[in-house]
Amino acid sequence: MYWMNAFTASAGAFFIYLLILYLTDLSFASWFFFLAVASPDLHVAKPLSMMSILIYVLFAGFVISPALMPDYFIWLYWINPLAWSVRAVTINQYSAPEFQQDSYNGNNYRQLKNDTMGNYMLKIFGLQTERVWIWYGALYLAGSYFFFLGLSYLALEYKRYDGPENVSVTVDDEDTDNSHYVKAPKTPTNANTDVTVHVAGSSTSSPQVTLAFKDLWYSVPNPTKGEPDLQLLK
C-alpha cells in the first residue's frame, strides 16, 4: 500500500510509516475492546462503535481542517488518536528531502510562498512542519493504547453484567420409556429342550340382546336452493 500511493522512496520513511500504523492498530484495538467489555450486550456495543468511528474520522483533520473546526470542537481533534496518526504520517511524507525543496514539479514555492513545497503543503492542512511531531504522535498512540487497556481493566474488575437467565425444559416422552422391558437371557446353542406351556382357558357367557328402533328419521340438505330437505329414511 505504501508504494502504491507513490510515497517517498525512503527506507526510513517506510519503517516510520509501519510504526505509526502498528501503534494506530493497537490503540483502536484497545478502544474497541473497552467498548465491548463496558457494554451489556451486542446491541449497545455496535451503535457505540459506529458513533465513535464517525467522531474519529470527522475530527481527524483530514475531512475538516483543524483551522476550520469551531473552538468548542477543537478539543476532539487534539484527543483523537486518528488525528495524531494522520499528522505523523503526513509530516513523515512531506518532510522527506525530495519535498523540502524550493522548486517542485516546475513551481518555485520559495518565490510564491516563501517556503519549501513540503512545508507549504503541511501548512495548508494546518499541520506542523517539525519532524518531532512524528514522535509526539507515536508516544500519544502508545499512551492511548495503555490508557484504553486501563479502562478495560476497570470495566472488567468493577462493572459486571449479569448473564441472561436460560431456562431449560425437559419433556419426558412416555412413549419411549423402555424401563419396563427386561432383556431375556440368551438360549444356549446346544439346548434342545421342549417346553410345554399350559394356558388355562376361560369362557364367558354373554346374554343375547335385541335392538329395536322407533320413529327413526334421517334427512340431508337438498343441494337445490329453495327445495326442502331430502328424506332418506322415515
Secondary structure letter of residue 3 according to DSSP: T
Lowest mean pLDDT among 15-19, 89-93, 213-217: 213-217
The boundaries of the domain holding residue 65 are 11-158
Residue 4 lies in a domain: no
| pLDDT score for 168 | 65
Identify the residue with better confidence: 184 or 48.
Answer: 48
Residue 38 lies in a domain: yes
Residue 168 lies in a domain: no
For the chain, give the percent of residues with pLDDT over 90.
Answer: 36
| pLDDT score for 15 | 93
Most confident of 6-15, 24-33, 56-65, 90-99: 24-33
Band of pLDDT at residue 190, cut at 50, 70 and 90: low
**Average of pLDDT values for 178-190?**
61
Cα torsion for 89, 93, 95, 101, to the nearest 10°? -160
Residue 151 lies in a domain: yes
Cα–Cα distance for residue pair 73/131, rounded to 1 Å: 26
Cα–Cα distance for residue pair 58/90, rounded to 1 Å: 17
Residue 87 lies in a domain: yes
Asked if residues 24 and 82 have their Cβ atoms less than 8 Å apart, the reply is yes
First to last CA, the chain: 98
Residue 23 lies in a domain: yes
Q: Assign 188 to helix, strand or coil.
A: coil
Lowest mean pLDDT among 28-42, 43-57, 132-146, 220-234: 220-234
Q: Which residue has the cell 513523515?
A: 92
| pLDDT score for 114 | 80
Residue 181 lies in a domain: no
Q: CA-CA distances (angstroms) from residue 5 to 11, 101, 143, 179? A: 15, 21, 29, 75
Residue 207 lies in a domain: no
Total domain count, the chain: 1
pTM value is 0.65
The residue type of 202 is S
Q: Assign 69 to helix, strand or coil.
A: coil
Nearest to 62 by CA among 134, 127, 150: 127
| pLDDT score for 180 | 58
Q: What value does the mean pLDDT of the chain take?
A: 83
**Average of pLDDT values for 197-213?**
71
| pLDDT score for 122 | 87
Q: Assign 220 to helix, strand or coil.
A: strand
